[in-house]
Amino acid sequence: MSYNELTRSYFSKAPCAGTLEGPDRFRGAAGDPAQGAWVQFDVRAVAGSTPALIEAVRFQAFGCPHLIAVAGWLAEHAPRRPIEPRLPQSVSELRERFAVPVEKTGRLLIVEDAWIAAMRAALGVPAP
Amino acid sequence: MTNRSVYLDYAATTPVAPAVAARMAECLTLEGAFGNPGSASHEYGERASELVERARAQVAAAVGAEAAEIVWTSGATEANNLAIFGTAHHYRDAGRHIVTSRTEHKSVLDPCRELERQGWRVTRVAPDRDGILDPGRVAAALRPDTVLVSIMHVNNEIGTIHDIAAIAALCARAGTARFHVDAAQSVGKCAVDFGSLGIDLLSLSAHKAYGPKGAGALAVSRRRGVQLTPLQYGGGQERTLRSGTVATHQAVGMGAAFTLASADPGAEFERIAGLKARLWRGLAAIGGATLNGAGVSVPHVLNVSFEGVEGESLLAAVQPIIAVSTGSACTSATREPSYVLRALGRDDRLAESSLRFSLGRFTSESDIDTAVAAVSDAVRRLRAIAGA
């Protein structure tokens, strides 16, 4: 398996890997390590921001380099973005940016599900 | 070799020994033995033929066979195919049942599957959790219509050594079944004695033993009167078993490599075994490491699974530093867990998170320490990312 430079970089550095703690942390996860792919995002909002803005995101992940790289990239670029129940870039845009084989799109959908779950939790929107 | 990763994939292939390469080069150009070894009408052909026959004798000597029993092939895959299809088709009137194991190389399993598709029955014997085949289970699988038993000597993924002598004795006692052994990983790593083990067919590979790729052989027992139906026709070379011009340089390379590999291997065995023990000590210290193939094994292969890490990420993390194989077949989309490790009872996750380290002539203590550090860093980092 070959990876593009962006994937190699974010996989090797895994920026923002870890967790957030405290009552103002909101969490969302998707996937299952037993199935080979799992992602969890923790998000914290900027206090008093309206509309709500992201202060910080941390992630944990079990999965392939693409999955780890995309999760790390999303977490790193999240601060100051609005909290909304969608990815800042579409799955197809992320797939192109990280040169993810089309057959691995399912991994990106797991990232998307985890991201949306975390954002929904931060917005107080119940899961569908 | 500066800036290249540490090569620990000698079970996949080995570099050609410089002395072997030099011998091969002598067969390629106008000044050398470039003639067609089948051209008996002139000195060029005679010279090439002499070298091919000398190489045949060298390969035979390395595995305890007679020179006349060696049939050149393009490698162990072709040798396995010739052994399996050749036996099945020649003895088809005697029976259509084959016994093999679940941990054979694909070049045995796939021909068996194809024969199954054509109407043969195949029994695949499972190994124990340590990767060892119980000869009794092989014997129990034999039937009156069994025409072939195909069992590998050394497993390519986990390095375990099967008790070929015991299986051969059981086959002989059972009657008509021919016994084929895939010994692609054996030469230079453990003793092979075709003549005394009671084997009918033995597959060999050059490039696993510091010889060239594209060269192999099938030893076909004359003493035991083994007959095969050829896979290809046209020219009648190799006693009609493998038509086509013999590649002089490949044969010469294989002969030279096998001679080197079988020359006093004791000290090298000890050195490699010491490196393997050092590697396992280092990897076991990481924690959550499972040794795959804990049975009797060759000194140069170590297969280890790591709990709590995903296989593709583990390989990607260590790849810049060490060149190893993974326990899964990788396609662009998915990774199939190793069927060998699954046969040992490992679950998908553990099978996928395995690495095969295979050591060789040029492996040093420093290489081992580099590998331990690389894997240790990768496993700890990936476990931390996963929150494990």
Which amino acid, one-letter code, is at B147? Answer: V
- Subunit contact A68:B313, Cβ cutoff 8 A: yes
Q: How far is CA A111 from CA A75, A94, B204, B330, in A?
A: 11, 11, 48, 22
Which of B313, B349, B386 is nearest residue A64 as measured by Cβ atoms? B313
Query: What does pLDDT average to over chain A?
Result: 94
Chain A to chain B Cβ contacts (< 8 Å): 53
Please count the other Cβ atoms lying within 10 Å of the Cβ belonging to residue B332.
Answer: 10
- Half-sphere exposure at residue A87, Cβ-oriented, CA atoms within 13 angstroms: 18
- Mutation pick from B307, B310, B379 vs chain A, by most beta carbons of A within 10 Å, is B310
Amino acid at position B245, single letter: T
Catalytic residue list contains B171:
no
The residues with which B354 forms a beta bridge, in sequence order, are: B305
Tokens of B38: 């089948």
What is the residue-level pLDDT of chain B in tens, covering all 388 positions? 457 999 999 999 999 999 999 999 999 999 999 999 999 999 999 999 999 999 999 999 999 999 999 999 999 999 999 999 999 999 999 999 999 999 999 999 999 999 999 999 999 999 999 999 999 999 999 999 999 999 999 999 999 999 999 999 988 887 779 999 999 999 988 989 999 988 999 999 999 999 999 999 999 999 999 999 999 999 999 999 999 999 999 999 999 999 999 887 778 899 999 999 999 999 999 999 999 998 889 999 999 999 999 999 999 999 999 999 986 554 434 567 889 999 999 988 889 899 999 999 999 999 999 999 999 999 999 999 999 8
- Where b means 16+ CB within 10 Å and e means fewer, B268-284 reads bbebbeebbeebbebbe
Contacts of A33 in chain B (CB under 8 A): 349, 386
Q: Do B316 and A36 touch (CB under 8 A)?
A: no
Give the C-alpha separation, A23 to A26, whole Å.
8
B29 touches chain A (CB under 8 A): no
d(CA B45, CA B34): 8
Residues 6+ apart with CB under 8 A from B1: none
Residue-range domains of chain A with CATH = 5-123 (3.90.1010.10)
* Cα B293-B15-B220 angle, rounded to 5 deg: 70
Q: Note the pLDDT of residue A48.
A: 83
Token match 């067919």: residue?
A: B201
Cα separation, B290 vs B311, whole angstroms: 14
Q: Does B26 touch chain A (CB under 8 A)?
A: no
Q: Which residues contact B170 (CB under 8 A, 6 or more apart)?
A: B135, B136, B138, B139, B142
pLDDT digit string (tens) for A8-67?
999 999 999 999 999 999 999 999 998 899 999 999 998 888 888 999 999 999 999 999
Most B-contacting residue of A1, A3, A6, A109 (CB-CB within 10 A), to test interface: A1
The catalytic position among B27, B112, B171, B330 is B330
pLDDT at B328: 56
> A101 and B388 in contact by Cβ < 8 A?
no
Predicted confidence at residue B168, as pLDDT, reads: 94
SS3 of A46-106: the string is: CCCCCCCEEEEEEEEEECCHHHHHHHHHHHHCCCCCECCCCCCCCHHHHHHHCCCCHHHHH
Write out chain B residues lying below 8 Å of A60, CB-based: 385-387
Which residues in chain A are closer than 8 Å to B349, comparing Cβ atoms? 33-34, 36
Is the CB of residue B383 less than 8 Å away from at least one CB of chain A? no
- Whether residue B310 and residue A104 make contact (CB cut-off 8 A), yes or no, is no
Asked whether the beta carbons of residue B332 and residue A68 sit closer than 8 angstroms, the reply is no
Q: What type of residue is B115?
A: L
Contact list, B310 vs chain A (CB under 8 Å): 36-37, 62-64
Residues whose CB falls within 8 Å of the CB of residue B347, separated by 6 or more in sequence, listed in order: none
Kindly report the nearest CA distance between residue B362 and chain A, in angstroms.
27
- Averaged over A105-126, what is the pLDDT? 94
Which amino acid appears at position B16 of this protein?
V
The 3-state DSSP class for residue B358 equals: strand
Do B316 and A11 lie within an 8 Å CB cutoff?
yes
CB contact at 8 A, B82 and B228: yes
